[in-house]
Amino acid sequence: MTSGLCLICLQLTTLQNIRNSIYGVVDALVLPVLMLIATPILLKSLGVGGYGTWVLINSLVASLAIVSFGGDIIIKFISSNREHDKGDTAGAIFGTVFVFQLLAMLAIYLCFLIFAPFISQYFAAEGFLTLLSILYFAIPVFFVKQLEGLLYSFLSGYEKFGQGTTISSISNAIFILTQILTAIYTQSVEKIFISALVVSVVLFLSQFLLIKIFYKNDIVLSKANINTAKSILSFGGWNWLSSLASIPKGHSDKWIISSLLGLNTFGIYSIGVLVFNQLHTIIGSSIWWVFPGISRESSNKEALVTKYWKLTLYVFIAGVMSSVLLTNLDFLFELWLGSEIYQNSLYYIDTFLLILPVFTINLVFHVYFLGLGLVRSIFFTEVTTFIIKSITIWLVVSVLNIEEWVLFFMVFIAIEYLIYSVIISRELPIKFVHLVAYLLLQILIVFVRM
């Protein structure tokens, strides 16, 4: 009887894990699919330069994620407190993080409103003034979407992935479709962000009120307090610093390429980056559900090792299969972008697809480090790889003029992986040599396929 119950529990757990992965994939797929639809429409409506401006604005405002540190804190502490029967603290955690993040966002936007007019007097170039005028609307759009993300983190802390996927998918669909329609009818980047601001505010308020109906005792901002802030300060502080470091690391290539090669080339380059980023996000989202589970089971190291290798195998298969499949589907890209734009962006698309499996190797590390609370290690690794990435791109593009410069992205990824490998092999019973062998296998596959 006992063995039968264990088998049933194992089957249920496996089915739940599959469902959680599906929720993550569905949630991650909505935005990429909409972006795939939006890209040719935006290119046609705005032109390559206008599309490049739209991408650059989004990249610039993404740097304001310096105040978007609360999502991981909410997941980490709500999930760990549930393990110790401290569910009553969820409201204090959510309220404290939400209020602090909101105040930080308001302070940053106020600084922008104060200094933007003075900046415009000294940098009077038409292109710069256009970007500055759009930022008045783009910045609050980004902030509202970040606050929306805290709601999804709250649901993830309770491992209600189905609920989070449903409302976030609907929200993202409406958000992107609004921008698509605005581009079609106005051909104006500025008006795209104005419409995005209106719809994002409406969507956030709707979701906030909806979740509050089901979790009325936890979605209460008045529960914010100093004691809760102090209890999450260490994890929150280092997590904030690592998030801060990840911004220039993630966007430095866009800033360097747009400045060195111009907006038109950057617009073509960004198509390859878009394809890569969406695939990377999809694979990462499919394993994100393990984060609260790792936080709850942090003391069971043997179980975590087994789960690590299973997730690594899954990510390896998903990365290679996605890369191989899409590399051989040229007609889909031509249908999506049109023959001329596809031919111009072919190098970037094919190269990013080629190195995609190498980029996915750190996804499992990131989830594990968050679950185990190793956010200080994440911060120092992010800073190191940002510096290496920036120097590498600048060197191969501007100084050495290497034609296949995108392949050099693997340099900083490999270094990041090795740093993570050293740390994780000290925290869990995983042999460093096995981790290095996996890295070499991934790199070997890339060169075999070239």
Segment 126-184, tens digit of pLDDT: 667 778 888 889 999 999 998 998 888 888 877 787 788 888 889 988 999 999 999 99
Please report the beta strands in 152-286, taking only residues with DSSP state E, as ranges in sequence order: none
The beta-carbon contacts of 234-239 under 8 Å, at least 24 apart in sequence, are 235/73, 235/76, 235/77, 235/373, 235/375, 236/69, 236/70, 236/73, 236/97, 238/375, 238/376, 238/378, 238/379, 239/69, 239/72, 239/73, 239/370, 239/375, 239/378
Quick one: pLDDT at residue 70?
A: 67
In whole angstroms, what is the distance from residue 400 CA to residue 405 CA? 9
Digit-coded pLDDT (tens) for 328-372:
888 888 877 778 887 888 888 888 888 888 888 888 888 888 878
Mean per-residue pLDDT of the chain: 80
Quick one: pLDDT at residue 126?
A: 62
In whole angstroms, what is the distance from residue 47 CA to residue 80 CA? 49
State yes or no: pLDDT of 212 exceeds 60.
Answer: yes
The domain limits of the chain are 16-231, 239-450
Lowest mean pLDDT among 25-29, 248-252, 267-271, 290-294: 25-29
Q: 110: pLDDT confidence band, cut at 50, 70 and 90?
A: very high
Average pLDDT over residues 83-112: 79
Radius of gyration from C-alpha coordinates of the chain:
22
Spatial neighbors of 256 by CB under 8 A, at least 6 apart, are 390, 393, 394, 397
CB atoms within 10 A of CB 203: 21
In Å, how far from its chain's centre is CA 424? 22
Digit-coded pLDDT (tens) for 68-92:
666 777 777 777 766 555 545 777 8
Q: How far is CA 190 from CA 3, 71, 102, 129, 183, in A?
A: 63, 29, 24, 12, 10
State yes or no: pLDDT of 8 exceeds 70.
Answer: no
In Å, how far from its chain's centre is CA 345? 23
Tokens of 54: 């739209």
State yes or no: pLDDT of 6 exceeds 60.
Answer: no
| High-pLDDT (> 90) share of the chain, % | 8
